[in-house]
Amino acid sequence: MCVCQGNGPGFEHLDVWKLLDRVRGDAGVEFAVVHPQLCGEEGLRFWGELVRPGVTYVVGACDPALQRKMFKDALAAAGASFDRQVVALDLRHMATEEAAEKVAEVVRPLSDGR
Ligand code: SF4
């Protein structure tokens, strides 16, 4: 999860800590983390350390097209693929419960297909 350092536009109604607490209990979720700025220099290094082949990453953050533009090279440099391994969700302008449900909707079929 990434919410623009906690003060980004569109995330005013989202309690990212409650969201993490909700989604980490969903079936199939191995871990849930929040990063303050995944598109920043240090965030891109984090991607390089994090990604592993065959793992799907559900990213709740900003516009999915923007996520692709910002993250794909960092994943490719680590031998991973944004298009195959990332499910990018736009959680802007959502309240916590609505965001948690949106995450659960994509996690459920992923865990069913294991
Ligand atoms: S990845 Fe998106 S949500 Fe996260 S800091 Fe960058 S612009 Fe904001």
32-50 confidence digits (pLDDT tens): 999 999 999 999 999 999 9
pLDDT digits (tens, 9 = 90+) for 49-98: 999 988 999 999 999 999 999 999 999 999 999 999 999 999 999 999 99
What is the 53 CA–ligand 1 centroid distance (Å)? Answer: 23
pLDDT digits (tens, 9 = 90+) for 87-103: 999 999 999 999 999 99
pLDDT at position 5 is 87
What percent of the chain stands above pLDDT 90? 84
Tokens at 36, concatenated: 């303050």
pLDDT at position 113 is 62
What is the 47 CA–ligand 1 centroid distance (Å)? Answer: 13
pLDDT at position 7 is 83
What is the 61 CA–ligand 1 centroid distance (Å)? Answer: 6
pLDDT at 114 over 70: no
pTM for the full predicted model? 0.94
Burial string for 71-105 (b: 16+ CB within 10 Å, else e) reads bbebbeebebebeeebebbbbbebebeebbebbbe
Cβ of 39 less than 6 Å from ligand 1 = yes
* Dist CA 43 CA 54 (whole Å): 21
pLDDT at position 28 is 83
